[in-house]
Structure 1
């Protein structure tokens, strides 16, 4: 096929297994998709969820980097209202310093949780202007030069370590992300509406749309992004509009088996719809229906490897995508590994 495929993981925990097992399964999943030829492995930040264990993405990605060698790793994404930009730059700059040019930083402005949990994260709101300002700070923190020299005299941090008193007039005035500056970790803007598209266009960043769960504004968001993209922005990281979009899939040897395994995801959707979370439930034959849908629904592309690959290819053509990021959830970790592996072979990775 014509564009790269990547993977989005949330480290789901299944009923009857432990949270530690879920995190171990995520590492094995990353190794599997690396061997299958996927371009990126991203983890999405979620908080307070009994379903997903991906709250501390930087920690999990560091562990994953230790057990993989070539696949790009990143956040899909860091929910920036939850974090100070300096800390994000330090965390992901540290990953880039250790593992080199394998690290991506996807940024979103949703809280990744419920309002009460979001308030306990104690950062700020998701106002579009504030969000854009934070993204701009990140580009500055990560784009600084390693050759920058301190002003004469010790900095505040050095003085603290040495137990010295420092004249305020001699404090280092420039806030720096160390490590982080000079790593130029690639930034991606995430979105499920036109807000993220506006920021991505204004700053000249690649854009990833969450069509795997919220495709309603995909068309208008991509139009906004491509129409207003500023390739000459000081913060630009790509020369032309670059779009990734998500799809949720289940792949099996038969249509009936694929729809059977997909009942786990459907149960999870129902839980979320009614405001509850919990471990992934086993699939069930009850209510399984196999239907031929001529349209493209990125929230559920289900079937055999050839039919799923065909649907994704149509999705790419319709929206002129540069990359597709695949989400796959199954009760049995070996089922989702088999699903994405067979898809990769069919796609020609």
Structure 2
């Protein structure tokens, strides 16, 4: 494994609260439940409406005891409006008061580490002790868009430069480049140069073994993208746990998995909603990204045998159905993987279906409505 400069990478500090990583189980859920938000845009709707839905989801999640709400970074996808996680998170912070907010994740090769440190230092100043910095090494888009994002002369922005970028980011967040380093007098602001303050815990995200091993060796929490790479979940979690070394951040592994889940009042309604996401993914994989189709369009689509095989495989990894069926499926997923936390993403055409799903899942687990104090 490559290191991150002469000093290598050391684990980031925890910042804010006594334990900003581990969540609290609510109701009868087997582990803490959280939300992963892609800010999906359905046909006939707008990015503005989808962003308003994200605020509504964050407030609902907070009131029902979900532990965190993360926003994913994607680019050049008409059906996904989450190209700027830090901007969205600032808006969500202004409309919530307790729930943890974070990136799931920031795709670090797309950004200069100093810029990320500044953005998340600003978020931490807005919402002290509530911000998570989840980092991935994929581009979150196609190669051409990635090249446009990174610009000329960014060779180290390739995925194999991730450990070096991570090391720089941690140094900027802690303001502790050693004397003689070219960045020793460069400060991320807001940050420690202004005085003692908390700062976001770092998570590593992945859909393969690379980040699993790196997270384990650094003693960092790890989030695995089960929702689109289910076959690799258990091997990646095993590798993370086997590689884990206790750190100032964690004394034992903490593994979160992203899970696609959608609950509705009937099986038929749930199936109709998740089929829209499956068709959207089919088009994306075929180089034809677009808005998330309506249930009617998805139901009428003339799938070829090969397309039907892809869609059936995709749907097999989405926990969907009535609330009781979704609860049973999520319980089974925790048993199979040993995950410490589930982060649920609801892929559907409309915002109301996504909101309804999170509420039904909370009901199924007996997660009571908590008093809210919106900003």
Q: Do both proteins adopt the same fold according to a TM-score greater than 0.5, normalized to the shorter chain?
A: yes
Q: Deviations over 1:146-176 (max 9, x none)?
A: xx9xx9xxxxxxxxxxxxxxxxx9x994322
Give the deviation of 1:347 after TM superposition: 2.1
Is 1:140 aligned with 2:168?
no
Q: Tell me what 2:65 maps to.
A: 37
Provide the C-alpha distance between the structure 2 equivalents of 1:341 and 1:263, rounded to a whole number of angstroms.
20
Determine which structure has more spread, i.e. the larger CA radius of gyration.
1
Secondary structure of 2:349's aligned partner: coil
Relative to the length of structure 1, the TM-score reads 0.85
Q: Say which of 6, 10, 14 aligns to 2:38.
A: 10
Report 1:132-171 matches (<5 A).
132-144=163-175
Unaligned runs of 5+ in 1: 152-168, 288-294
Secondary structure of 2:214's aligned partner: helix
Q: Which moved more, 1:198-207 or 1:176-185?
A: 176-185
Task: Mark the CA change 1:348 to 1:296 in structure 2 (over 3 Å): closer, same or farther.
Answer: farther
Q: Tell me what 2:347 maps to.
A: 329
Q: Tell me what 2:191 maps to.
A: 180
Structure with bigger RCO (C-alpha 8 Å, 6+ apart) = 2
Q: Tell me what 2:9 maps to.
A: none
Q: Deviations over 1:260-291 (max 9, x none)?
A: 2222112112111211111111113558xxxx
8 Å CA contact 1:206–1:238 kept in 2: the answer is yes
8 Å CA contact 2:35–2:69 kept in 1: the answer is yes
Q: Say which of 333, 342, 364 aligns to 1:346.
A: 364
Report 1:180-199 matches (<5 A).
180-181=191-192, 182-199=197-214
8 Å CA contact 2:278–2:314 kept in 1: the answer is no
Unaligned runs of 5+ in 2: 1-28, 302-312, 368-375
8 Å CA contact 2:267–2:322 kept in 1: the answer is yes
Q: Deviations over 1:55-99 (max 9, x none)?
A: 111011001110111111000000000011111011001110121
Q: Tell me what 1:98 maps to.
A: 126
TM superposition outliers: structure 1 runs of 4+ over 6 Å: 295-298
What is the root-mean-square deviation of aligned Cα atoms in Å?
2.4
Provide the C-alpha distance between the structure 1 equivalents of 2:315 and 2:283, rounded to a whole number of angstroms.
20
Give the deviation of 1:139 after TM superposition: 2.0
8 Å CA contact 2:215–2:221 kept in 1: the answer is yes
Q: Say which of 256, 280, 287 aligns to 2:292.
A: 280
Report 1:53-92 matches (<5 A).
53-92=81-120
Give the deviation of 1:258 after TM superposition: 1.2
